[in-house]
Structure 1
Amino acid sequence: MTVFAMAPDGVRIALHELGDPDGAPVLMIHGFSSNARRNWIGSGWGAALAEAGLRGIAMDLRGHGESDRPSTGYDVPRFVADVDAVLEQLALDEPPGAIGYSMGARLLWRHAGTRPHAFRALVLGGLPASDPFERFDVDLARRALAGEAEPGPMESFIVDLAAVFPEHDPATLVTLAGEVSRTLFDPAQAPPAVPTLLMTGAKDTRADDTRELLPLLADGRFEEIPGRDHVNAPTSGAFRRRASAFLAEHLG
């Protein structure tokens, strides 16, 4: 069953449950152009979480999945406020753990760094040390989406990702990427202070610099996801098992 949290600007944020309903809670945030069902539910995370005694609460980012898709309103502070709204609605007895992938990992890094008591432990997958949206030209991407221009490498990557899944609106996702790119990811600005596990696919060329983030973390470690790239890492059993074990260790 899907329930909704209400963001401060009235956008509905869809929430999905998986794992052990009586377990320690873990907020889960997917990557750009994905959604909770594809990133977590359909790739076997429920069983891994249940085995570790964890209750997954997976949110669809605004513009994705079953959450609302406003025509604008995708700046970074709104995404951070969406996480605040979800945590407020959940009204948990104690801070949860969290798992994020790619864009979801950047969001959790930012949120946990500015709200040090929101989470007890983090698993951040596919997280580059730099910001992949830095070289993104939203106007060029829009023209490319309409078949009116030849995209550059970053625009091509975003446009292709935005069109992967039929349930998403590519134009909305291109707008989202453009608005997010106005506030570039600066990991040194406010790194998380809680125990943090960084995991990146061994073949991930989009986040091959994840290890560079370790010196910024008070309690951080890094592990590779064997044989996976940026797109298919969330389907890895090794990723599921290791992430679940790490969070169970810190939430027990």
Structure 2
Amino acid sequence: MTVFAMAPDGVRIALHELGDPDGSPVLLIHGFSSNAQRNWIDTRWGDALAAEGLRGIAMDLRGHGDSDRPSVGYTVPHFLDDVDAVLEQLALPEAPGAIGYSMGARLLWRHAGTRQHAFRALVLGGLPAGDPFQRFDVDLAHRALRSEAEPGEMESFVVELAGIFPEHDPATLVTLAGEVSHTLFDPELAPPSAPTLLMTGDKDRRASDTRELLPLLVDGRFEEIPGRNHVNAPVSGTFRRAASRYLAEHLRG
């Protein structure tokens, strides 16, 4: 059953349950152009979480999945407010763990870094040390989406991802990427203090510099996901099991 949290601007954020319903809670946040169903549910993360006694709560980012898709309102502060709204809706007795992938990992880094007691432990997958949207031209991407211009490398990547799943609106996702790019990811501004496991595919060219984030963490660890790139890492059994095991170790007791 899908339930909704209400963001401060009235946007509904869809929440999906997986794993052990009586387990320790873990918030899951997918990447750009994905959604909870594609990133976590269809890829059997529920089995891995349940095996470690964890209850997964997967949110659809605004503009994705079953969440609302406003015409504007995709700045970084909007996404941070959405996580706050989800945590308020859940009203958990203690801080949960969290797993994020790619854009979801950047969001969790920012959220946990500015709200140091929001999460007890983090697993961040496919997280680059820089911001992939820093060279993104949103107007060019919109023209490319309408076949009116030849996109650059970053615009081509975003347009391709925006159209990968039929349940999404590509123009909305291009707008989203443009608004997010107004606040570039700077991991040095406010690193998380919670124990954090970083995981990246050993064939991931988009996040090949993840290890550079380790010195910023008080309690950080890095593990490679063998044989995976940025797109297919979330379906890795190694990723599922290592992430679930790490969070179970930090959420027990």
Category of TM-score, reference length = shorter chain: over 0.9
Please list every run of at least 4 consecutive aligned residues from structure 1 whose deviation after the TM superposition is greater than 4 angstroms.
none
| 1:223-234 correspondence runs (5 A) | 223-234=223-234
Structure 1 residue 149 and structure 2 residue 149: aligned? yes
Distance 1:133 1:127 in 2: 13
Report percent identity of matched pairs: 83
1:35-59 deviations in Å (ceiling 9; x for gaps): 0000000001000000000000000
TM-score, normalisation: structure 2: 0.99
Partners of 2:85 and 2:168 in 1: how far apart?
23
Deviation at 1:229, TM superposition (A): 0.2
Distance apart, 1:169 and its partner CA: 0.2
Per-residue Cα deviation, 1:62-82 (whole angstroms, up to 9, x for no partner): 000000000000000000000
Q: d(CA) in 2 for partners of 1:8 and 1:139? A: 28
Q: How many residues align?
A: 252
Q: Structure 1 residue 131: deviation in Å?
A: 0.1
Hey, what does 1:173 align to over in structure 2?
173
Distance 2:20 2:168 in 1: 29
TM-score by length of 1: 1.00
Counterpart amino acid of 2:87? Answer: L
- 1:57 maps onto 2:96 in alignment: no
How far apart, in 2, do the equivalents of 1:147 and 1:156 lie?
Answer: 11
| Distance in 2 (alpha carbons) for counterparts of 1:137 and 1:212 | 27
Counterpart CA distance in 2 for 1:225 and 1:2 is 30
Offset of 1:210 from its aligned partner? 0.2
Distance in 1, matches of 2:116 and 2:207, equals 25
Question: Which segments of 5 or more consecutive residues in structure 1 lack a partner in the other structure?
Answer: none
List runs of 5+ in structure 2 lacking aligned partners. none
> Partner amino acid for 1:200?
T
What RMSD over aligned residues (CA atoms) do the two structures have, in Å? Answer: 0.2
- The residue type equivalent to 2:32 in the other structure is F
Correspondences of 1:118-197 after superposition (within 5 Å): 118-197=118-197
Post-superposition offset of 1:170: 0.2
Equivalent residue number for residue 41 of structure 1: 41
The letter for the 1-side match of 2:240 is: R
- Residue 213 of structure 1: how far off its partner (Å): 0.2
Deviation string 1:205-252 (CA, Å, 9 cap, x unpaired) is 000000000000000000000000000000000000000000000000
Q: Specify the alignment match of 1:218 in structure 2.
A: 218
